[in-house]
Structure formats: C-alpha cells, structure tokens
Structure 1
Amino acid sequence: MTETLPEVSLPVAEGADVDGVVAVEGHDLAVHCKGSGHPTLVILHGWIDQPGITSYGYYGALTNELEPDFRVCSYDRANVGDSEAVPGTQTPEMVVGDLDGLMETIGDPGPFILIGQSAGGMVASAYAVAHPGKVVGIVMVDASFDEEITLEDVGMVPDGVGPCDPENRRRDGEESLQKIDNCAMYKWAYERRDLRPKVPLVYLAAEHAPWSDQTELGPAYAEAIIPLQQSYAASWSPGKFEWVDSGHDIHSENPGAVGDAVRWIVKEGNK
C-alpha cells in the first residue's frame, strides 16, 4: 500500500471530493470520488496483475468524462493499487462486502450505477445480486459477466484454460496479485441470477478487439461468446449491446461511449 494517501476524514460531506484510504473490515481501501449528483457512479476496475497500478490513474480519462455531470467513485480492491493486502484467497462475499462497506463508510449507501470494466464485470455481477436494491443500472465495458461460466460448464472451454480449471483457479486465488477465486465469483453470481435487479444495462463491446478474435479459451468459446454477450444484455430491463469503435480499453480509448451509455441508463431509469 502506498503511504502517501491520507486517511479519509469521516463523515464525508455530501458532494465533497474523496481522496484517501478508508478502513473496511480491518483493512484499508483506497477510494477516490469527484463530482456530485445522484445516483453515484462506481467504477469497478479490471484484473490488475502489477503492483502500483491504481484505479485512480487507470480510469482518469473516464472520470474526466463523467465527473461534470455525475458523482464518480473508483477504488482499488484489496491487494492492489493503494489498498492494503489481506491474507488468503478472496471470496465473492469478501469482494462484495468490501465494496458495500466502503461506500457505506464514506456515507453513500446508494443506489449506484456500476461501471464494470473487463474483470470488473465479475464484481458488478456479484454486487448486483447481493444488493439488488442498491443498483439502478450497469454498464459493462468489454467486461466479464457471470453467464460466461455456462460455456465452461458445458465443455466449451478446453481443459487447462478456464477460470474453474483446478490449476488456473489455484493460481488466481493463491499466486495472483489480487488473489480472487474467479471461478467462485462467476458461479456465486450466476447461481443467484434470479436476484438480479430489474434495471437497465448496456454491454459495450470492443469492435477492434472482439473477444471472438482475441480469446485463448478455444474455438467453441470464441463462437459462442458474442451471442452470449448479446443475449445477456437483452435479458435486462431494458438492456442493449453496442459495438464501440475501440480496442479493449474502451474507458480510455473512447470514454465518450461509456458516458453515452450512462446517460442512456439514467434516461431509461427515469421513465
């Protein structure tokens, strides 16, 4: 954890900037919030595998796009960025509990629009079924989502490469920087899919780097993933799938597309 971030002074006044660490469940989490308004947007970062990468730095362009019109918060999950390390493997309950506890501690109990980028989509999937009353919309930014696990469950992913492959699962949970059990995250959210809130969702897919071209999970997965993304998006209330003129890092290459998706969600939610 970087020692230069101060402790956040609590309670946080409504609309005040937040830039520091907050103690949640016995460990410090780095959090940054700017702007004002309701609902708050929460950016959920992707899979960080190198020390020193922070959500605040990685999503600066997206925060700048959204902050004039919304309150925008980002945070570093435990073990990465400026947040503190925790012992053992992180379970879905721990990951969801950190997010919920963090926002409660800084005085923002929701509701939220979740912006899940890449692996942050797993966190959005899990949080939405754990706290459906606190979620009013979701933007998936070329993101992982719980229904992907169905492809591995039916043998469409070769042995040795999926998140539930025993060796990959061990590496994710014990050797990676984040130490999250990705298999458990997918399954935990998917098994609770009946609890998903009836809210708008936009799935933004990278036109320049579609998963069907980039994936290493095998040809059956590559053929099935984009139709699954599309059907997943269509299952929300309402939901839509959009190709974006960008590579995988839509949040930095085309942040306006994410901003447009958020504004569409707000408009749909106010109907």
Structure 2
Amino acid sequence: MNRMLKATAVAALCSTVAGTGYVGVAQAAGHVGGSARTTVQVNHAGHRGHADSFVGEKRIRVEGHSVNVSCSGRQTGHKPVVMLVAGYGDGLDAMADLQKTLSAKNRVCSYDRLGEGKSDKPEGPQSLKDTGRILTGVIDRVAGDSPVVLAGHSLGGLIAGRYAPEHRDRVKGLVLMDATSPTMTADITREIPANATGDSADLRAGTVATMRGENQENLATPDGPVRSAGWIPTEVLRHGQQYLAEFPTYGPAIEAGWTRAQYKWAAISHRSTVRVAEDSGHYIYVDRKDMAVESIQRVAAEVTQQNSGRWGHAGR
C-alpha cells in the first residue's frame, strides 16, 4: 500500500500510531516549516478583562503549565479574536501561513496544546475538560472580554466543537475544517470489521487506541453527541478529494463515514453551513487556503456585526 496514502488516512482519522512509521500528512507533504519567532516566558494572570496585545510567540502559564502561544494582527473595534486550533501532531507552526493571512483583517492567535510543539508535556491522562481548561486560559490571556471565533482542523475541530457549547459566553463563531468525527470510535469499528487484517487492522486498532488516549497528548476523546452552541454562525468545511476511498477494501465506507460526520457537526448551530473544499485533501487550510480564509473571515464579519449591534443597542 502507498505509504503516503496510509499516512494521510491515519492523519485524517486521528491515528498517530507509535512504531508504525506513519507521519502527519502535512509533515509528509513538506507543508510545515520552522519558526524563527522569539519566545518569552511570562506568567498567566488567570483572569479575564484586558487582553495581552503581544505579537509573536510567548510562553504563558496556564493551569501550572507552560503553553506556547502565537498572535498576529491588532484587535480593533468590535471584531472578534480568531483562535486557530490545530490537529493531532501539529504545533502552531502548521497554521502559521493561515494565521499570517488572516491577521490582515483580524487579531489571530494559535497555541500548542500540551504534548504538542513547544508546550509542556502532559503529566498524565487528559480529558476534553482538561484540554478545554488550557484553551480557556489561552483565550483569557489573548482575547480578554472580546468575542472569539474558533477555527479548528481535524482533532482541533473536534476540540472546538466540544468546547463551543460549553462556552457560549466566549465563543461567538465557529469554523470546523475536516473535523474528526464526534463518533470516531463507533465509525471506524463499524466501517472496518474486527476480523480485518493488514493495513486495515492497523488503522482500526490505531484509531481506537488514539481516541482512547494513547497519543502524545495523552488526550482521550470518547464518542458523544453533538451539542448545540445556539445560533452562532458556523461553517463546516469537508475535503473534496475522495482520497480515503482509495484505502484498500474498506475505503469507500471510511470515506462515506467521514462525510456523514461533517454533517453531524452541522447540528452544532442553527446557523451552520457545510461547504465542500474541492481539490482538497484533509489539510484544507493548505490545499484550499483561500476557502479556509474566506470561511473564517465571513464568520468573523458576522460576529463583528452582531457585537457592534449589541454595544450600539446598549448605548442607547
């Protein structure tokens, strides 16, 4: 089987399988570059209000951990802060080009989750609540009381999708880019039977193990329903290249399951739209950066309009 296809399928299904030689697709394709930005150690104040307006990278203290954060652009008027959330195996550098482009119109930040990039390694098992507390600490620091648009890719999309309904006071817009299925374990065990062999068996076992928490973040992501985040503007982007269908034997079922998952995520908001990124594989923000930028800017513009109206009404 083609190694790049295996790597791409594993990356898409959030399976970082130790010892198999699989690598993240962005790394394999040569999309992720190094960072020359300066890092500075600072302490996290642990409160909302005034946002830190730094530009570049900083390491901040969140929940007793050093977390690497990058911000670009200036916060102006009633615009939201855009927070980028990368997928498994990707540090903030993976989304640096997207961040730079978006920062022409918005303040944009990204961060390394525990176990990724330059942030601390987790001290033990992590739950979605644990990683959510880290995200809250980062948002408190870089956004203060400003509204936030979360834009997540792959596992980052799943994290954003789980986080938004629990934080409606902060998250006012959402963009999910080929987000990991909210029922990934059930999907993969249905699509690849227990008696599968070879690469298919490896993909099934690796995905189940990863969702159980056997990954570099020690993060368990159990299946669960998609909860509502209300009426926030939401765009769900799914890949258009049917590359998962090329996986031997079970590929068409895996591809169909992935597509269904994206429509499951659309239930997160009464104002959601699903868009197909034609000519794109899993890394939509690389293959179709234009589409990712347009979706994030469109959602951010809606949030700006709503925020402006809210403050305008309050002042009358």
Q: Which residue does 1:39 correspond to in 2?
A: 80
Match among 61, 84, 97 for residue 133 of structure 2: 97
Which stretch shows the higher mean deviation, 205-214 or 194-203? 205-214
Q: Give 1:198-213 correspondences, 5 Å limit.
A: 198-209=231-242, 211-213=244-246
- Residue 247, structure 1, aligned to residue 245, structure 2: no
After TM superposition, give the deviation of residue 73 of structure 1 in Å: 0.4
Q: Give 1:148-163 correspondences, 5 Å limit.
A: 148=184, 151=187, 155-159=190-194, 161=204
Deviations 1:80-104 (CA, angstroms, capped at 9, x unpaired): 1000112111111110000001221
Structure 1: runs of 5 or more not aligned: none
Match among 217, 223, 230 for residue 178 of structure 1: 217
Distance 1:14 1:5 in 2: 15
After TM superposition, give the deviation of residue 213 of structure 1 in Å: 4.7
Q: Which residue does 1:124 correspond to in 2?
A: 160
Shift of the 232–42 alpha-carbon distance from structure 1 to 2, 3 Å rule, reads same
CA contact (8 A) 1:42 1:114 kept: yes
Distance 1:203 1:194 in 2: 15
The alignment of Structure 1 onto Structure 2 pairs a total of residues equal to 253
Q: Give 1:1-271 correspondences, 5 Å limit.
A: 5-8=39-42, 15-37=53-75, 38-48=79-89, 54-55=91-92, 57-106=93-142, 108-148=144-184, 151=187, 155-159=190-194, 161=204, 165=208, 168-169=209-210, 173-174=213-214, 176-182=215-221, 184=222, 186-187=223-224, 190=225, 193-209=226-242, 211-213=244-246, 219-230=252-263, 232-233=265-266, 236-244=269-277, 245-269=279-303, 270=305
Shift of the 15–227 alpha-carbon distance from structure 1 to 2, 3 Å rule, reads same
Name the aligned partner's letter for residue 91 of structure 2.
T
Name the aligned partner's letter for residue 6 of structure 1.
V
CA contact (8 A) 2:84 2:150 kept: yes
Instruction: Kindly report the root-mean-square deviation, in angstroms, between the aligned alpha carbons of the 2 structures.
Output: 3.1
CA contact (8 A) 2:148 2:172 kept: yes
- What is the percent sequence identity of the aligned residues? 23
CA contact (8 A) 2:52 2:142 kept: no
Q: Secondary structure at the match of 1:140?
A: strand
Q: Which has the larger radius of gyration?
A: 2
